Amino acid sequence: MVKLVFLWTDALLYVLVATVLLSAWYIRSHEHLRAPWREVLHSRLGVAAMVVLAAYVTIGLLDSVHFRMPAGGRAADGAERYSGRVLSVLDLILTPLRTHEEETYSAPLATRLYTKETVELPDGRDVRIYPRLRYGGAQLRDPARERIPDILHTVLRGAVFALVLWAALLALVVARLARRHRWRVLHALYRVLSGRTEHPWNVALYTAGALILFGSVTGHLAVHYHVFGTDKVGQDVFYETLKSIRTGLVIGTLSTLVMLPLAIVLGITAGYFRSWVDDVIQYLYTTLNSIPGVLLIAAAILMLEVYMANHPQNFQTVIARADLRLLFLCIILGITSWTGLCRLLRGEALKLRELDYIQAAQAFGVGHTKILTRHILPNVMHIVLITVVLDFSGLVLAEAVLTYVGVGVDPTTYSWGNMINGARLELARDPVVWWSLAAAFVFMFGLVLSANLFADAVRDAFDPRSGTTRGPGSGRRDVGA
């Protein structure tokens, strides 16, 4: 059996997923909470963004179940021995990508290395050639002639496979809708494809179709080729960028969530009680806010580095070490950004406390705690939600920048920032090694764009007119260029 490994960020992600599921269940049973979400589901861009996000999240979650494989044999005390390497479910699925390591750079879909190497021929002579790759296109006997047809053939197979999958998905949706609305199947099909359904199912299906097509084609290609080439040490770039998704998601979600309770509690108590409580809390966040964000992050990360260097015994594996740094980065990013939310909530609580229903509650002698939890908190939750969603994309982008500056994630962690950082210097080469950069930027762009579109849909649904949450992002202007 495998031995499960729980990383800190895994555990927090599980908590997050559980919270999301619980609140979804709660929201389902409350009409006034459900209404804005229904509006999100009615927005075309919102639905498309949700489908893309769901794909990213699935990959991220698959990458968050970690374990160690049995190493074979038993220890002296009879316990099973485990490999030192921590793997995730995603690693298992991507085993060919993970294990197909080349010597060094190779271009996307190439069959030969990108650099000339001196190879000893069987007859003992040395020649400088572009050697064949160990895995990329290794099944071809004459790559020069067979490569293009083989690739086209694989793409076609992938496309056909995707079409079948998509048709199955379409059938599922059509069948469900036909049953619910008692439509005839053909009528349901027509309605779904032409978008005459309550939710824009056609948009969801087309987006899913595009994703399936992309996944299927790259999946088929990846068996024999390096779809996005390989990097300096010969690692498959496609594998790297898929592994980076989890890092992006962790930074984007945990950073805000870690500090959320503090921001909420301090924000609404400051606004509700005013007087000296307000003064103290305002002092707290003005002080934190006045420290330049990057400097605070840098100082904190350096501190962690020193701590880790001095206490190596606390970290069993490299991955645990990198994970702790990731978590720490989330916390410190959270600290630099919670002040914005705190200020928003304080302002809102200041407004709410003057409303008649709070006065009515006070006239009944309802206690402060109860007023805070029953009357104020539920009425600021939409601001919290919008802030969390809006902050997400900014945080994903910030990761890349911070990693570049050297105060981001651990260099051993897969992340888009590390990929960009590693590939940046290679731009000076001639011809250029561009694929690492391209893969990182494209995948990051996909995540950030869909997150932004989703955030727009959420904001339009939850805060249609008031300008409370329409700030220019919360104080992270100094991190971005």
Q: Using CB under 8 A as the criterion, which residues of the chain lie in contact with other proteins when the complex forms?
A: 31-32, 283, 286-292, 294-296, 298-300, 302-303, 306-307, 310, 355-357, 359-367, 370, 374-375, 378-379, 393, 397, 400-401, 404-407, 416, 420, 424, 427, 432, 437, 441, 444-445, 448-449, 452-453, 456, 465, 467, 470-473, 477-478, 480-481
Secondary structure (3-state) at 13: helix
What is the residue whose two structure tokens read 């350096």?
Answer: 302
Considering the complex, state which of residue 190 and residue 445 has its C-beta at the smaller distance from other proteins: 445
Alpha-carbon distance of 238 to 440, in angstroms, equals 9
Axis crossing angle, helix 377-405 with helix 416-424, rounded to the nearest 10? 20
Alpha-carbon distance of 263 to 340, in angstroms, equals 9
Considering the complex, state which of residue 6 and residue 357 has its C-beta at the smaller distance from other proteins: 357
**How far is CA 434 from each of CA 141, 218, 229, 399, 430, rounded to the nearest angstrom?**
28, 19, 10, 21, 11
Considering the complex, state which of residue 86 and residue 349 has its C-beta at the smaller distance from other proteins: 349
Q: How far is the CB of 456 from other proteins (least distance, A)?
A: 7
Alpha-carbon distance of 447 to 436, in angstroms, equals 17
Q: How far is the CB of 253 from other proteins (least distance, A)?
A: 17
Maximum C-alpha span of the chain: 99
Alpha-carbon distance of 423 to 425, in angstroms, equals 6
Q: How far is the CB of 209 from other proteins (least distance, A)?
A: 21
Q: Residue length, the chain? A: 481
**φ/ψ (deg, to 5) at 6:** -105, 115
Q: How many CB atoms lie within 10 A of CB 454?
A: 24
Q: How far is the CB of 439 from other proteins (least distance, A)?
A: 12
Q: How far is the CB of 257 from other proteins (least distance, A)?
A: 22
Considering the complex, state which of residue 119 and residue 432 has its C-beta at the smaller distance from other proteins: 432
What is the residue whose two structure tokens read 């939750």?
Answer: 381
Are 339 and 285 in contact by the 8 Å Cβ rule? The answer is yes
Alpha-carbon distance of 149 to 145, in angstroms, equals 8
Taking the CA atoms of 23, 26, 29 and 31 in sequence, report the sign of the dihedral they define. Answer: negative
Q: How far is the CB of 451 from other proteins (least distance, A)?
A: 8
Considering the complex, state which of residue 317 and residue 452 has its C-beta at the smaller distance from other proteins: 452
What is the residue whose two structure tokens read 């990360």?
Answer: 301
Alpha-carbon distance of 178 to 242, in angstroms, equals 37
Considering the complex, state which of residue 110 and residue 358 has its C-beta at the smaller distance from other proteins: 358
Alpha-carbon distance of 51 to 58, in angstroms, equals 11
Q: State how far Cα 11 lies from the chain centre.
A: 16
Q: How far is the CB of 23 from other proteins (least distance, A)?
A: 14
Q: How far is the CB of 45 from other proteins (least distance, A)?
A: 9
Considering the complex, state which of residue 51 and residue 189 has its C-beta at the smaller distance from other proteins: 51
Q: How far is the CB of 219 from other proteins (least distance, A)?
A: 25
Considering the complex, state which of residue 38 and residue 374 has its C-beta at the smaller distance from other proteins: 374
Beta strands in 315-471 (DSSP E): none
